[in-house]
Amino acid sequence: MVADRLNDAAAGGATMCLPTGSTPRQAYAHLAAHGDLSGSTVFLLDEFVLPDDSPARCDSMLHRDLLNRMTHPPKRLETWDTNAPDLAAECARMEDAVNGVLDVAVLGIGTNGHLGLNEPGSPVASRSRVVELHQSTQAASTTYGSGPIPELGVTFGLADIMDASTVWLLATGTHKAAIIADALTGPIGIAIPASVLQDHPQLEVFLDPEAASRL
């Protein structure tokens, strides 16, 4: 369903923000085999500050899981240059590139409730910026490939996400059930960044039965 919806959005010329990690892999596999993103502009949601050859980098995962397997990749792809001498300036460049126009923001959720790399405590008004990674996020990065563990990342902020016309939240597995329940039915606050999505007028949530088991 997610792959088909992304394909439809791309056919309409959508500007979209895509995540990486284990959650969207099955959707990306289907999209790579059957989809066409050539009408779309794709922004990478976030990135770890890691060497270019690290398999745990988000751009590496996006290419490995989706783009390198597509016959019709996006007409435009914007990723983060973490080798830039000024990371704050690189974040400003990405902010300018998106120019407030995201038709679809596709998101996963961390077990600590983060969206992108907006860790607990992130301001609701936050924009593209450099972030210090939570221990649980650092630990999760080790499942994406061997090498150094990132301490910093860059990400679109919560305000950028909330500005998107439509937001899709994806989660799979029992290990996401508790945080999904807290984020979607608990109080809204910066302790669980994903809780701010309760206020988004066009939020769609895609869960497997395990991730939805506490709702």
What pLDDT score does 191 carry? 97
Which residue is catalytic, options 47, 59, 90, 119? 119
Look at residue 146 and tell me whether its pLDDT is greater than 80.
no
Look at residue 156 and tell me whether its pLDDT is greater than 90.
yes
Which residue is catalytic, options 81, 103, 112, 208? 112
> Using CA atoms, how far apart are residues 151 and 131, in angstroms rounded to an integer?
9
> Using CA atoms, how far apart are residues 26 and 34, in angstroms rounded to an integer?
12
Task: Note down the domain range covering 151.
Answer: 2-207
Whether 212 maps to a domain, the answer reads no
**Pairing relation of β-strands 41-44 and 166-171?**
unpaired
Whether 40 maps to a domain, the answer reads yes
What pLDDT score does 99 carry? 93
> Using CA atoms, how far apart are residues 121 and 56, in angstroms rounded to an integer?
24
Look at residue 82 and tell me whether its pLDDT is greater than 80.
yes
Task: Mark whether 34 is an active-site residue.
Answer: no
Confidence category of residue 204, pLDDT binned at 50, 70, 90: very high
Whether 153 maps to a domain, the answer reads yes
What the block records as the tokens of 156 is 């679109």
> Using CA atoms, how far apart are residues 46 and 30, in angstroms rounded to an integer?
22
Whether 213 maps to a domain, the answer reads no
Question: How large is the average pLDDT for residues 16-35?
Answer: 96
Task: Mark whether 118 is an active-site residue.
Answer: no
Which residue is catalytic, options 46, 59, 65, 90? 46
Instruction: Give me the CATH number covering residue 65.
Output: 3.40.50.1360
Whether 73 maps to a domain, the answer reads yes
Which residue is catalytic, options 114, 118, 134, 160? 114
Whether 28 maps to a domain, the answer reads yes
Question: How large is the average pLDDT for residues 31-50?
Answer: 97
Across all residues in the chain, what is the average pLDDT?
Answer: 97
Decide: helix, strand or coil at residue 118: strand
Task: Mark whether 134 is an active-site residue.
Answer: no
What pLDDT score does 147 carry? 84
Look at residue 158 and tell me whether its pLDDT is greater than 90.
yes
What per-residue string of b and e applies to 136-159 under the rule 16 or more CB within 10 Å gives b? ebeebbeebeeeeebeebbbbbbb
Whether 215 maps to a domain, the answer reads no
Task: Mark whether 114 is an active-site residue.
Answer: yes
Confidence category of residue 145, pLDDT binned at 50, 70, 90: confident
Neighbours of 165 (CB within 10 A): 14
- Identify the burial level of 130 via C-beta atoms within 10 angstroms of its C-beta, where 0-12 means exposed, 13-18 middle and 19 or more buried: middle
Question: How large is the average pLDDT for residues 46-51?
Answer: 97
Look at residue 107 and tell me whether its pLDDT is greater than 80.
yes
Say how many domains are in the chain.
1
Whether 214 maps to a domain, the answer reads no
